[in-house]
Amino acid sequence: MTFLFSSSSSSSSSSFVSTVLLRTLVSVITYAHYSFCFHLLIFSCVPQLFSTILVSE
């Protein structure tokens, strides 16, 4: 009985660890995606902004 209990608890802890790793991976990927889109937006908008400012000057 003790062996069965210990094996089930270890499997549940490993599934918990894999769930935590999966959530961390998903959050990191989501953060990287949004950060990349944000930087892409900045790099695409800033030159246009500078060109409009220079043209208006």
Whole domain around residue 18: which residue ranges?
A: 1-57
Say how many domains are in the chain. 1
Per residue in 8-41, pLDDT (tens digit) is 555 667 788 889 999 999 999 999 999 998 989 8
- Label residues 19-48 b or e (16+ Cβ within 10 Å = b): eeeeeeeeeeeeeeeeeeeeeeeeeeeeee
The pTM (predicted TM-score) of the whole model is 0.50
How far, in Å, CA of 40 to CA of 33, rounded?
Answer: 10
Residue-level pLDDT at 3: 52
